[in-house]
Amino acid sequence: MFVMRFLLLLILCGLMSSQAPAQSDRLSKMQQFDNDDYEQIAPDSTFLKLKNAYNRAVEKKDQLAAANCLSQMAQVCFHLGHLPQALDYHLQAINIFRKENAYLPLASNLTDVGMLYYYNKQPDLSRNQYEQALEIYRSLHNSAGIALTYGMIGHLHEKQQDYDSAFYYQRRALTTYILADDKKGMSKIYENIGSIYEDLAVYDSASWYFNRALDLNMQTGEKLARIEIYNNLGDVSRKTGHYPEALVQTRRALLLALDLHEQHQLAGAYRDLAKAHHLAGNNDSAFYYLELSRQFLLKTYSDENSKQVALLQSVYDIEKKNNEIERLQNARKTNRIMTVAIVIVVLLLVVMSILIISRQRLKLRNEQILSMQHRQIFETEKELMEAALQNKQLQEGKLKEELEVRSRELTTHTLHLIQKNQLLEELRVRLDEMVKDEKRDQKKQLKQLLAQINHSFNHDQYWVDFRNIFEQVHQTFFDNLKKYCDSLTSNDLRLVALLKMNLESTDIATLLGISTDSLRVVRYRLRKKLNLQQGESLTAFIQSL
């Protein structure tokens, strides 16, 4: 019956331990690389002081001081298990440190964020933060930071049961600490390596590394870290069946925990004593120590809950106070702005009134001046328009006279061409008759004369003069004609010009030096080029251009 009660208590403590927010483990890991004696603090008052310091730093625009306050506030929240709030403060601090190029505190906060991601079961994000911190420490040649980060990465691999990588990084950390002669860091790495061997059930190696860590710890005097080492030595002894030795080591841890008032460690030490007594067959003692462990565990959770409630109340009060201060400041700013705005509006109204009166006077004066100027301009423009109208009338009369002269010249020139070609036609007929005569001695000369006359029909000089005069009389005629067809030949243009002058077909044939039948053929081809429909008059089309 006693054994059943003991087992029930053991199960109860185990359930309470597993359902707790892993705060003891967080504290242990936080101390993993910061082995200063942990000082019990009042987190609500500490947080309040940090918050006030942060507000002062923001008012003074001291970014680095504000970031340091955020980092310390995050550590308080981390200690009390407020991981989301701790992460938020750390990320704010990281952003400021990046902007200010404060690389050392930036790397420290990155490792803290990596630890937060680890507890949130996000190992990939945790490893990413550690890698960023490691890169910064390497650039700064900071041996302590490099070794610390190696140890954290090794611990991460250990929890993922990747023991080869865990050994690799822990040994790199150990090498770095040895080169720096950092006994405190060496002690912790020896303890970490011992934990890996303990996980692998290689208890001889685990015991050797734990003892090595204890020797170095004795030299540095880190009592809080020594509790962990004693607990680890007790675990190894208990797991190897050396129960008296396990009880000795655990009692050493218990005494240190009592001395440092570490309730988490006290609960763990009592629980380990209960396990050792139970395995040794001392169930009365096991039950006694298990009950003590349960009481301390309950007291610890009660204290932690009180601290968390106090912290939350402090945060709430701070936020409430800040909101009220911000509201008052905004109200004061609003009143100040409204007062300034009213004064400015009044001044603007006065100035605008003065400007409006001055502007009205100036406007009246300007209107009078403009009216006089407009009247003068109107008179001047009227005179200029009358002069321009007279000029235009004179130019129109002159143009009419020139047009009449050009028309007479064109008609005279055309009649001259008709007479010339008629004369040439008569000469050609007579010469044809002479050629047909049998007088052979004149035949050669007559042929030459006939060739000269035919050449005269094809000479373009008169046509050039004719076209120049024609274009002066009928401006843009040929441009309009080319819109319908731009592939007209010079002979086509001559025919179109003669049709525009409304000459008879016989006169046109005489001027072109062709027969009336040939003229009909040429007219037909011209109709096709101009795309005229059947029945549409060629002459009427040309006259319309």
**Class of the CATH domain delimited by 475-545:** mainly alpha
- Position 541 scores a pLDDT of 85
Assigned token pair, 128: 């990413």
Residue pLDDT, tens place only, 140-183:
999 999 999 999 999 999 888 999 999 999 999 999 999 988 99
The share of the chain scoring above pLDDT 90, in percent, equals: 21
Assigned token pair, 44: 């609500």
Assigned token pair, 38: 């942990």
CA distance 55 to 319: 12
Assigned token pair, 314: 């402090």
pLDDT higher than threshold 70 for residue 438: no
Residue pLDDT, tens place only, 445-483:
667 767 666 666 555 566 777 777 777 777 678 888 888
Within 13 Å of residue 397, how many CA atoms lie on the same side as its CB?
Answer: 5
Amino acid identity of residue 428, one-letter, is R
Amino acid identity of residue 299, one-letter, is K
What confidence category does residue 41 fall into, taking pLDDT thresholds of 50, 70 and 90? very low
Assigned token pair, 465: 């003069």
CA 119 from chain centre, in angstroms, equals: 34
Q: Tell me which residue of 57, 416, 59 sits closest to 73, measured CA to CA.
A: 57
Residue pLDDT, tens place only, 87-123:
889 999 999 999 999 999 999 999 999 988 988 889 9
Please state, in angstroms and as integers, the Cα–Cα distance from residue 401 to each residue in 82, 405, 502, following that order.
Answer: 109, 6, 22
Domain ranges of the chain: 142-203, 359-473, 475-545
Amino acid identity of residue 307, one-letter, is K
The share of the chain scoring above pLDDT 70, in percent, equals: 77
CA distance 166 to 154: 4
Distance between terminal CA atoms of the chain?
Answer: 131
Residue pLDDT, tens place only, 341-392:
898 998 888 888 888 888 888 888 888 888 888 888 888 888 888 888 888 8
CB neighbours of 235 closer than 8 A, spacing ≥ 6? 198, 246, 272
234 within 8 A of 250, measured Cβ to Cβ: yes
CA distance 400 to 379: 31
CA distance 373 to 355: 26
Question: DSSP assignment of 94-130, as one string?
Answer: HHHHHHTT-HHHHHHHHHHHHHHHHHTT-HHHHHHHH
CA distance 542 to 485: 13
**pTM of this structure:** 0.51
237 within 8 A of 267, measured Cβ to Cβ: no
